Every structure is written in structure tokens, then in C-alpha cells.
Amino acid sequence: MNRTLTRSVLCVGLMMLLASRVAAEQQRGEAEAAFQRGYYLQTHEHDPTAAAEAFEQVVSDRSAPEALRAEARTRLAEVREDQALSSFASLMPPDVMAYAEIDRPGDHIERILKMVGLTGVPEGEVATGEPVPLGNGIVLPADLTISPALIDELKKLRGAAVGVTALTDRGMPAGLAVLHPGDCDLVRGLIETGVQVLEPGEPIEDYKTYRLPEFGWLMLTRRMVMASDSREQLAAAVDRLRNPQADSLAKRAEFQRVHDEIGQPCIFAFVDGQKLVQRFGPLLGGDEGRMIRTLLDLEHFESAAVALGTTDNSIQLRAEMNLMPGHRNMAYALIRTAPITKRSLELVPRGAAAVVVIGLNPPAKDGDVARTGEDAPPMISAMDIGRELFHNIDELAVFVMPSVSDSSRGFPEVAAAIAVKDPEKSAALWNQLLSIAMLFGAKTAGPPTEVTLEGQTGHRYQFDGIPPIVVVRSPNRGLLIGTEGAVAASLQAAANDESIESDEGFAGLLAHVSPDTSKAVLVDVGRAVALAGAFVDGNDARRLAAISQIVNELKVSLVTDEAPNQLVIRAGVSGSAKYQDLLPLIRHEIAPRRTAAAK
């Protein structure tokens, strides 16, 4: 009986021990799974908030191995620092005069590599074409790709920033610089190794500091490297890191507004206009200095910013100047014109290769309509030249397109589509100016003649060496000046609703024209290169034909948005050529040179 009881007790004990071990293993497995989840969220998803929750679970699990908990504590401190770093600007002192940052460069580099087809052939496609020999055993393969390992390593870099608060007596910048290696262990390892040769200083809280010869101080946090000319700046940066509500550059209203407008570019720079004037304004002495102050009204210069970034299919550059309300900046007043209404674009035909649009004056108000029904052209005077530019012309669009008429003599078709308030006055003025040019300004092949294009009458002017120029009114209070083919195509576009606004090739370019846009240059590069091929022959013509196919999707835009207190310049490039498409052209260019070199 006692033996049976003893066996029962032993069996129960063994079962309990086994169950506890199973539970411990299960808890250990859960802790390891939580750590792995946190590691993935930290290093791959760049989600410090979710990663912190996973690491906190490991740290609070007393049954987890101590080594695992220690590693989780280290990584928890890292992701909490990343959580606190909402932006590099949040670390900068509020009195920054100039600021620049590079944020997540790897993401933007990856987008650019995808645009040019260097991240591998898309799934379901096969790389075609022969490799291109460059000589000395080097070739360009058809399936050349940038290693994913290199891209992944670049994407680990978080970025860097510099905030300048002043210039020292020696002309050296004073302020704060920050480098965030992210999860790039190579960069972090090089930094941690290199700082050992520097003279150590007193820690700031629990962060190590080092003396930088001829400059100041360097400090290592758990995730970043900070450098400054003073320890006080480093200590203040630590306070801002641990207290997100502390005063910083990111809290300043003008900086917030500019940064929100621009978004999250790769490269961003900001200048505080007033602090810049306070620092360098005293240097503007004498008559020249007073002239500059008067023309630019520096007392109302708020800020300037530049940003460079990418989308999935484009590279975008934005530069802006911000002025305070009530400014008297005469330089800006001289270049600022009225916004584009797009009325002139209704006269630009589909298929145009490039367009330059300029808004000059506000459109006509209600009741301010052009005269009609006059038997004779209106009288004009020299003063009407100024009125034409500063009142009558609302906007104009100069466009170029391939030759469509025999009279073009191989030249591209070019015309200016002008939206005006008084088309009769404009027609009379421009006809008079061209008549004067024929008499005094150029040799001519004959007197002006009347012409009828698409039912609209006008005048033709023939100059030596160039196609005839015609001046024709359009039905919608517009004036057309240009080659016959371009003017005829413009009239057809207006009559059949086939303007550039219905051109699929220009849809993305026209999207860059905002309600504040006053000037724009829009280019379909593929069409422009094909158009240039009309000027050459032989090998050059064949080369340009090949290039036009390669850059068929390439678009370039440059626009200015001119609001009362803000000038914005935006440039964009989209639809870049692919590497594989460039190979035949490279082979065609290199082969003759190699043959000539061999001879």
C-alpha cells in the first residue's frame, strides 16, 4: 500500500515538473517570438511604436532568459529614442538661422533606380538583348541590376541634419549637427570605433561625449551622433529629445508651414530671413547697401526653402521665397504677373512638343468685352504697345510642333497663342509692328498679303530665310501669330476641342499648373527630340530617331507660382529612360569607336 502511494506521488511530481518545464519552454518561446517581432518592426518596418510594445513584453517577462531581456532593454531604449525623434528639426534650437537635412536617402535612391530599371526585370518579363562590350574585358549586361543587398543597406540609413545658429569670429558655423545611422551597422561601427581616438569628456546624462579638436564636442546617444561647438547645445538637444514639447525649430510656425507645404523630401533646406538679415544686414552699408535694402525690402523677408524629393515616377525640385504681408519687394513686383487661366492653352493643338505659357494680366471683368462690328481697324499709337503688354494681353502660350505644311521649309511649326481682352486692337497693333519690321528691320521677299485659314482671315508676312508668318484672330477672343501650319492647327484645335488639354501625353505636365501658376515651361522630351531630327539627316537623324523612342515617356516641367507673398519655383522630371532601352544606343555609339581604335 505504501509502495503504491509512493509511486503515485512520484508520478504526480514528475507530471507537475514536466508541465512546469513545458510552460517555461512555452513562455520562453513566446518571449523569443515577441523579441523577433520587435526586431522585425524596428529594422524592417521602421515602426518604433509597435517595436517598443514587443520589446516591453520581453523585458517584463521574468521567465525569459536574462540575455534575451538585456538585449530587449537595449533595443527598447533605441526605439524609444526613435519614437522621440519625430523629425530632425525637433532636435534643433529654435533660433536656427539656416537648416538643412537629408532624410531616408535610401528610399529615394531606390525609387530612382526603379525608374531607370536597375532594380531587376519586373516579374513575368525576361531581359533581352546582348551585352555591350566596353573593352578590357568589361561588358554591360542586358540584365544589369543594383544588388538588393546594397539597396537594403542604403535604406537602413535614417539621415542627417545641420542647424546653424550663428557664425563665430573665425567664420565657423555654430549650432548643432546630427547624424542618424539608422540600422546601418557598418556606419555605426565605424563611428563607434573612430571616436575612441578622441579625448573623452564628461558624459551628458548617460551619453558619452568627446572633444573635437578645433571645433567643439561630439556626443553619442543610443541611436545618433551629435556634434556642436558647445556642450550646452548638446545638453539642450538631449532635453528636446526627451521632452517633445520643448521649444525647437520644428515648433516655429513659419517653419511648420513651409515644411507642411513641401512634405517629406529627401533633401530639405530652410533659411530664416529675419535672422539672416540681422546677421548680415549690417554688412550692407553705403549707397549700394541702401539700394539693395530698398529693392528687396529685406525687413519683410520671412524665409526661403529648397526641397528635392522623389515619387514612384518622378524627381521633384521645389524652391520658395516667403515674404511678410505688406512687403514692398520691388524685385519680386517686377517679375510677378497674373496667374494663368489656361485660356491660351485652348489654342494649343494636340501633338505639340513643348509649350511656354506666361500669364501677364488679370482676365477681363464682367462687362469688359471687346469691341465688335467696326468697319475699319481701330486706330493705334505708340502708347498701345505698353497697353498691350500691361493690360490687353491676359496670357500667351508659345508652342512648337512638327511641320505640317510645305511652306514650313523643314522648320518646325511655331506659334504664339495670345488670349486678349480686345482682339481687334491686338490684331491691328501686331500687324502694324510686323509691317514696320518688313520696312526697316529685315529684308523681305514681298509685301504682306491677306490669308484665310480655317475660315479666319488674316495677314501673311514673308521674311527671307524663314517660313511665312501669319497673324490671324481666333473666334474666342484670341490672336495667333506664327507659321501657317501652326496657326491652322491651332484654329482646328479650337474648333474641334482638340487642344493640348485633351492630349494624354501632356496630362501629367498640365497637372503641374496650379491656380497660382504664372509661368510654365512644359516639354515632352520624346516629341522634342523627334522634332529636332527634322533639322539633320544621315546618321544624326537616325540617332535622334532612336533617342526619341528611348525618351518617349520623358517629361520635363518648370513652373512658377507667384502668390502675393510667396514665390515658388517647381521643376519636375518624370518617365525617365530605362537602362535596357539605352543598351542598343550605347552599342551603336561604342562599336564604331572600338573599330576605329583597333585600326
Contact status, residue 75 vs residue 39, Cβ threshold 8 Å: yes
142: number of Cβ within 10 Å: 16
Residue 186, pLDDT > 50, answer yes
535 Cβ neighbours under 8 A, 6+ residues apart: 410
DSSP assignment string, 233-298: HHHHHHHHHH-TTS--GGG-HHHHHHHHHH-S-SEEEEEEHHHHHHHHGGG--HHHHHHHHHHHTG
pLDDT in tens, 5-56: 565 655 555 555 544 544 444 556 788 888 888 888 887 777 888 888 888 8
Distance CA 110, CA 331 (A): 40
In this structure, is the dihedral angle defined by the CA atoms of residues 357, 360, 362 and 364, taken in order, positive or negative? negative
Distances (CA, A) of 321 to 290, 299, 495, 571: 21, 14, 41, 15
| Pairwise pLDDT comparison (77 vs 472), residue with the higher score | 472
Helices and strands, counts by H and E, the chain:
18, 22
Whether 129 has a pLDDT exceeding 80, the answer reads no
Neighbour tally for 564: CB within 10 Å: 10
pLDDT at 369 over 70: no
Query: How many C-beta atoms lie closer than 10 Å to residue 299's C-beta?
Result: 13
CA nearest 325: which of 564, 516, 518, 560? Answer: 564
Taking the C-alpha atoms of residue 320 and residue 572, their distance in angstroms, rounded to an integer, is: 15
C-alpha separations of 252 from 164, 226, 246, 549 in Å: 15, 22, 11, 49
465-488 exposure pattern, b = at least 16 Cβ within 10 A, e = fewer = eebbbbbbbbeebbbbbbbbbbbb
Distance CA 435, CA 220 (A): 76
Those residues whose C-beta lies under 8 Å from the C-beta of residue 288, and which sit 6 or more positions away, are: none
Given a cut of 70, whether residue 193 has pLDDT beyond it is yes
Cα 37 from Cα 31, distance rounded (Å): 10
What pLDDT score does 23 carry?
Answer: 47
More confident: 231 or 390 = 231
Cβ-contact 14, 22 below 8 angstroms: no
As a whole number, mean pLDDT of residues 110-134 equals 78
**Residue 43: predicted pLDDT:** 77
pLDDT digits (tens, 9 = 90+) for 567-584: 999 999 999 888 888 888
- How much of the chain exceeds pLDDT 90, in percent? 45
Q: What is the pLDDT of residues 142-184, one digit of tens each?
A: 888 899 999 999 999 999 999 999 987 777 889 999 999 988 9
